[in-house]
Structure 1
């Protein structure tokens, strides 16, 4: 279609119903008997009129934000019909089609993104990215182009990160050569931070577990990321940008040349440390106060302008019909109407700053979680092992960087030292605290700020998961020794037991039970006294075993197992061991999930493996007869349900537990004969 400039493009005028004035007649006449709004709008995508196609795309974009409407669009091949419009001859149609696909993917989740990949939407998306970058990066980029570009990148991010067929989507992305476009957007961060953030999100997504893309890495890519890491802008948007760049660098760790590893690791860790130092509990009230002050100033200015206008002291500029609320920047004296799809970019600055801060802190914690993964999962970890293979050779002489310094799932001495030098454990522990009551109160009483409440809690949950991983992979002395671990136990006890009831929020329970489990393991190993009583731990486990999330129930049972095995070595604990044993037996016999049943049996083996108190408790609860009755049921369930519902790794663990159950029954029989 030739080279065109955005500043010459004018949106059509719209009537009160949102229809293009030139398209009203055609739309009114275009009733073909389709019996649903979805069908009618999708039919209009085939209209010869660009105005009608644009209206249909814009309408779909709005309608699909109500998730209940999405199935109607999917049943009529909405993705297949919208995809080609990304390369429509009309720029307006391209923009609104991209917005419709972004909203479909964001609101529709896995199913829509699966359809997007199957219908080859990545091909027109990547073609559109390449084409627009060639046109606009060589000329003055206007705001409308930047919003458009942001939307395309957002659509890519959602599709790549949500789709279960992400390997196929990633392959298309890799082969399309979009990396250069992403880097161009990143390099513009001093001029347009929103565009750079979209690019950074995209790069952070596509570099995760993407061995094919690793082979495209070169010094230019790493240089761009390092320049972002070393940028000095203090606003929250740039804090988020640096954090996303740090995440991409970590994903690309096997591509780092040996000579640059130490410097890059230090810059990465400094970025995460600086981000976690910021206190959202202080900044959010400050940002809200600034917003209120700005609104008051704007209101006073508006009243003064109204007064001046009424007095005839202000020159009134003639405006076009489309210069109203939601109208974009003026170009050549004309306003460009902004499609509603871009409304998320036009929010209040203070709220955007607060959102960027919390997103940056959540991302920082997730990066540290990945840094502190153990490379030797214990027998009671049920998660599937990573199947990614990052051993392929890469071009540009970067394969030499694939050393043990930053090898996957390994807490090397260099990473360990960097975490300690930047006080990361201390900062993570601070983030595990409940969100500031003042900040929560501000968000609770301001509807537009309510979205931050969930984000503040999400930071706490990620910090707890991060604490769990650090406790699992770092030695006690690095974490401050016995006194520090006792303080952590006291802190976790306050989080869990300070309220009248144990919190029931699933994400919190998953994170806090993981942290408690890891802490109890290291405390038991070091024989350190700790403040949580067996009764408290049993109440936590009881609450967790009622949770629908399997991993929470597994953590709860492991906590009981660790607690019981510790008590079994002490005098006068038989009664408590009986309570723990009965609780574990009940779960082993009644839980619908075999993984949970297996964990309960494994915990029983730990609790009653040895000791006079354990023997006495086992006899009092008839443990031997209970396990004999349970054994054939457990074996039958593995045989009937195993292959259809559980992974090979899970089945392997279950088979081991089945063997251990037989052996443990034999052990109990010898105890009874004494």
Structure 2
């Protein structure tokens, strides 16, 4: 997955919306009865009963103890045929149940799903949805009251199932190649201007299946590349489109070998321009702005409902005035309010999460850009977290001379684009955690609190990205000796600003690797490190620095 001295990233085999709930019961005492009852209802003649059963299974699939029960009861074989159920609502909920199961089940469950031939009905469903897109306007008219396009919604769920399975199973990727799924999902992607959610799901899937898949590269003809180009250069009207462009840029990087050689430099510049724009956004400021926008939206909805309530009460009071005996005039407030029916954070939280995801992906792709492609790219899979640091040390110094090895080979196009778009500077800025006001906003709101963990992830990715950039760029491209001295001081302060950092393994590994690399470069160039003696001693004891 990457050279031992430069980590590469793959997305974890979990859908971003498929987080598993905490287990409430021990597996030993697990009761299979809820799963058994719901699975029996999948064969019910009523479409509504089948739909409710699928929805119940989707909820169960998010609870870790229930996954083993669903696997034992052969839920995949029973849900698979429902992907082609006569009822569109059943198809959607069945796909949703399989999406959660594949997202929360991990490698073993996804591999088992392929073994149980889930790909056959899944590919058939994707093909039917592709044909149905041409008549989607009819679908919209039929469901005008629900404001729902079943074809696109079913396609979105099905693509997420495909994405999760292909992340975990090479057999699924092989079936993806043989069945011509690329043409199908590209057709979905081409609708990015009208359905960005579907396009994002497709872009996630494409980024997964195009990585290390030379067989699929043969299918990327000129029309296919044109679809990617159109999505990548789409006008950025929201954070969702920012995420879409970032994901498509990652796919373009994966298929760069099929691009004409004369356009490679321009393409790499375009990719890093997108990543530069994404990283330039201040997450802390975005969180504050989005929270303010959410508050204004909910206040406006509350004012509107209050006005409607007053009008309703006014009409009631006018009728009461005609009665001779009225004890007192009292406003009657409805039990259900408009604001109660609005998802309180759906819009703003979704956009904030889209930006955070885009920044994480941008950092990961930059890391991959800084890695040379050779057979040792899978070495990272062989190392445990503790081995990664040792492997880095073994490869960072020449055993004979003790001198820092030369930077990894980096193409001139990537090298130029990294410096032209100030990628090192923007990565440096991301290693600092967002401002305290943004963190406080998230910590005080249960629905926003998960964003703190996402911000932690971005900080760790930035540190890993910093380590990669330090390995491939020379001192002048990094800003010279003053910039490195400032960075060293900042990293040392960052470590000791978090007393409990030892509990966060990922952060500890990321910052120790980045700081070690930086200090080694400074030592090899005879640059004063400007780290206070006391902190230097602590660093030596914690990280075994030279």
Q: Please give the range of the TM-score, normalised by the shorter of the 2 chains.
A: 0.7 to 0.9
* Contact kept in structure 2, 1:434 and 1:495, CA below 8 Å: no
What is the alpha-carbon distance in structure 1 between the residues aligned to residue 49 and residue 232 of structure 2?
45
1:515 aligns with 2:509: no
What is the alpha-carbon distance in structure 2 between the residues aligned to residue 244 and residue 410 of structure 1?
25
* Contact kept in structure 1, 2:196 and 2:241, CA below 8 Å: yes
Per-residue Cα deviation, 1:52-76 (whole angstroms, up to 9, x for no partner): 3222212111222222222111111
Of 109-118 and 245-254, the range deviating more from structure 2: 109-118
Q: Which runs of 4+ in 1 moved over 6 A?
A: 323-328
Q: 1:290 Cα deviation (Å)?
A: 0.8
Task: Tell me what 2:67 maps to.
Answer: 70
What is the alpha-carbon distance in structure 1 between the residues aligned to residue 214 and residue 347 of structure 2?
38
Per-residue Cα deviation, 1:540-570 (whole angstroms, up to 9, x for no partner): 5655xxxxxxxxxxxx4xxx2xx33xxxxxx
Task: Tell me what 1:178 maps to.
Answer: 181
Q: 1:326 Cα deviation (Å)?
A: 13
Cα distance change of structure 1 residues 282 and 503 upon mapping to structure 2, 3 Å threshold: farther
Q: 1:104 Cα deviation (Å)?
A: 1.1
Task: Tell me what 1:158 maps to.
Answer: 164
* Contact kept in structure 1, 2:129 and 2:154, CA below 8 Å: no
Per-residue Cα deviation, 1:490-531 (whole angstroms, up to 9, x for no partner): 111111123445442111112111211221221222222213
SS, match of residue 449 in structure 1: coil
Aligned-pair Cα RMSD in Å: 2.8
SS, match of residue 528 in structure 1: coil
Per-residue Cα deviation, 1:38-64 (whole angstroms, up to 9, x for no partner): 122222223344333222212111222
Unaligned runs of 5+ in 1: 1-33, 314-322, 329-342, 386-408, 544-555, 565-674
Per-residue Cα deviation, 1:94-115 (whole angstroms, up to 9, x for no partner): 1111111111122222232122
Relative contact order (alpha carbons < 8 A, sep ≥ 6): 1 or 2 greater? Answer: 2
1:59 aligns with 2:56: yes
1:118 aligns with 2:115: yes
What is the alpha-carbon distance in structure 2 between the residues aligned to residue 451 and residue 214 of structure 1?
37
Query: Could you tell me which of 371, 374, 379 is aligned with 1:373?
Result: 371
What is the alpha-carbon distance in structure 2 between the residues aligned to residue 282 and residue 225 of structure 1?
31
* Contact kept in structure 1, 2:51 and 2:89, CA below 8 Å: yes
Q: 1:307 Cα deviation (Å)?
A: 2.0
Task: Tell me what 1:453 maps to.
Answer: 452
Query: Could you tell me which of 339, 349, 352 is aligned with 2:350?
Result: 352
What is the alpha-carbon distance in structure 2 between the residues aligned to residue 35 and residue 470 of structure 1?
51
* Contact kept in structure 1, 2:99 and 2:157, CA below 8 Å: yes
What is the alpha-carbon distance in structure 2 between the residues aligned to residue 91 and residue 432 of structure 1?
47
What is the alpha-carbon distance in structure 2 between the residues aligned to residue 182 and residue 324 of structure 1?
40
Task: Tell me what 1:237 maps to.
Answer: 240
Task: Using structure 1 for the length normalisation, give the TM-score.
Answer: 0.64
Q: 1:136 Cα deviation (Å)?
A: 2.5
* Contact kept in structure 1, 2:460 and 2:507, CA below 8 Å: yes
Per-residue Cα deviation, 1:380-427 (whole angstroms, up to 9, x for no partner): x87659xxxxxxxxxxxxxxxxxxxxxxx9520110000000000000
Q: 1:327 Cα deviation (Å)?
A: 13
Per-residue Cα deviation, 1:332-390 (whole angstroms, up to 9, x for no partner): xxxxxxxxxxx99x962111111111111111111101001146899xx87659xxxxx
1:266 aligns with 2:269: yes
Unaligned runs of 5+ in 2: 1-30, 141-147, 317-335, 384-407
What is the alpha-carbon distance in structure 1 between the residues aligned to residue 43 and residue 445 of structure 2?
43
* Contact kept in structure 1, 2:130 and 2:188, CA below 8 Å: no
* Contact kept in structure 2, 1:496 and 1:503, CA below 8 Å: no
1:281 aligns with 2:274: no
What is the alpha-carbon distance in structure 2 between the residues aligned to residue 278 and residue 427 of structure 1?
10
* Contact kept in structure 2, 1:197 and 1:241, CA below 8 Å: yes
Matches within 5 A, 1:127-526: 127-140=124-137, 142=140, 143-145=148-150, 146-161=152-167, 163=168, 166-312=169-315, 348-374=346-372, 410-500=409-499, 502-526=501-525
Task: Tell me what 1:553 maps to.
Answer: none
What is the alpha-carbon distance in structure 1 between the residues aligned to residue 522 and residue 70 of structure 2?
55
What is the alpha-carbon distance in structure 2 between the residues aligned to residue 159 and residue 311 of structure 1?
58
What is the alpha-carbon distance in structure 2 between the residues aligned to residue 61 and residue 275 of structure 1?
34
Cα distance change of structure 1 residues 172 and 195 upon mapping to structure 2, 3 Å threshold: same
* Contact kept in structure 2, 1:70 and 1:104, CA below 8 Å: yes
